[in-house]
Structure 1
Amino acid sequence: MPRILVLYYSSYGHVRALAQAEAEGARSVPGTHVDLRRVPETVPDAVRQSAGYLDDDTPEAAPADLAEYDAIIFGTPTRFGMMAGQMKQFLDQAGALWAQNALVGKVAAVFASTGSQHGGHEATLLSTQIPLQHFGMLIAGLPYSFAGQTCRDGIIGGAPYGAGTIAGADGALQPTETDLAGARFQGAHVAQLAARLAVATPARQVA
């Protein structure tokens, strides 16, 4: 039974909505166990309240938890073309896993929310993949077999590098059904890859 972790950080709920869709997609693959977790908040409560951040009762994850899964799907808002600091701090605490090669060969994927169509959407998806490759993870994107990527009927998030949504400069836009469908597709795609790897013969380690 492949174990999938959907791990995210969300300020205003856009990434959380995508995360729930990713988890739904992963659970659609028979025999898959899926956990939905968030990274710890680093912003003080007073700042969160003044900025209008949404409360989130999703259980938190710890860096050590990552080793327990066959695949991990990471979700983050865009901060100047990169992942949010909360996600970066979480990954920065996973040095022990890196030293132990604990994540080598596990499937990884990324999804993101961005304020504008050209506000670093693809840059965030790609730059978030960099530390995951340092961990030795196998990157899964959002294949063009998800036909929604070519939709021209509105503002659509996502790219071949991962699912996504465009929130608008004021955060008023919510994930479209196409965005959510892309997240569900990616979640199922990752679960299917993890299932195939789970039954494969482990690669021989070469000194």
Structure 2
Amino acid sequence: MPKVLVLYYSSYGHIGTMAEAIAEGARDAGAEVAIRHVPETVSPEVAAKAHFQTPVHPEIESVESLADYDAVVVGTGTRFGRMSSQMAAFFDRAGGLWASGKMNGKVGAAFTSTGSQHGGQETTLFSIITNLLHFGLTIVGLDYGFQGQMNGEEVVGGAPYGATTVAGSSGQRQPGEIDLAGARYLGARVARTAAKLFG
């Protein structure tokens, strides 16, 4: 049974909801799954003023604990077309883990949320994937076996590079069923790939 970590940062809950769906897909595919969030880097005063939501999942124990998993799926909202500073700060502390080579050959994937349809989803996914590649992970994307991402009739997330959702300019839009289905599909793909590599 592969061990999958869903690691995320979420200010307003959208990414936390997507993390749950990814975990569900991975569990349904036979994986043991943990969901963790990275530490907040802004002060409690700033977080309160911006109405940040308190994450419902435990905080990750340490950077080094990533090596305990066969696969890591990383999610964060976009900040001007790249990953959030909170997620970047977490990876910036991982030099020792990188140097150890303990992540080489593990499975990685990415997910994100933006305020608009063209708010930098793909570049944010690539900013996550770039980090994962430097750690030696084998990347799994959201292939076109998930046809929901081809829907042109409504606003939906999804890209070949990972699962996504559109939150709206003020966070008013929650992940829809197609977005969540894409997240579950990605979680299942990660779990199946990890099982083939480590089973």
Can you give the 5+ residue segments of structure 1 that lack an aligned partner in the other structure? 200-207
> How many Å apart are 1:126 and its aligned residue?
1.1
Matches within 5 A, 1:1-207: 1-30=1-30, 32-61=31-60, 62-199=62-199
> How many Å apart are 1:71 and its aligned residue?
0.2
Equivalent residue of 2:78, what SS? strand
Deviations 1:49-87 (A, max 9, x none): 110111123111121110000000000000010000000
Question: Which of structure 1's runs of 4+ aligned residues deviate more than 6 A?
Answer: none
Deviations 1:8-35 (A, max 9, x none): 00000000000000000000012x2100
- Relative to 1, partners in 2 of residues 1:52 and 1:75: Cα closer, same or farther, differing over 3 Å? same
> How many Å apart are 1:119 and its aligned residue?
1.1
> How many Å apart are 1:153 and its aligned residue?
2.5
TM score, norm. by length of structure 1: 0.94
CA distance in 2, matches of 1:57, 1:34: 16
CA distance in 2, matches of 1:180, 1:126: 20
> How many Å apart are 1:139 and its aligned residue?
0.6
Equivalent residue of 2:112, what SS? strand
CA distance in 1, matches of 2:146, 2:86: 30
CA distance in 1, matches of 2:189, 2:87: 23
Q: 151-160 or 6-15, which moves further after superposition?
A: 151-160
- What percent identity do the matched residue pairs reach? 54
CA distance in 2, matches of 1:187, 1:168: 24
CA distance in 1, matches of 2:74, 2:90: 11
Aligned alpha-carbon RMSD (Å): 0.8
User: Which amino acid in structure 2 is aligned with residue 37 of structure 1?
Assistant: R
1:112 and 1:158 in contact (8 A); partners too? no
CA distance in 1, matches of 2:175, 2:169: 14
CA distance in 2, matches of 1:72, 1:51: 29
> How many Å apart are 1:197 and its aligned residue?
0.2
User: Which amino acid in structure 2 is aligned with residue 13 of structure 1?
Assistant: G
CA distance in 2, matches of 1:73, 1:177: 20
1:64 and 1:97 in contact (8 A); partners too? yes
Which protein is bigger by CA-based radius of gyration?
Answer: 1
> How many Å apart are 1:158 and its aligned residue?
1.8
> How many Å apart are 1:43 and its aligned residue?
1.1
Equivalent residue of 1:79, what SS? coil
CA distance in 1, matches of 2:8, 2:55: 11
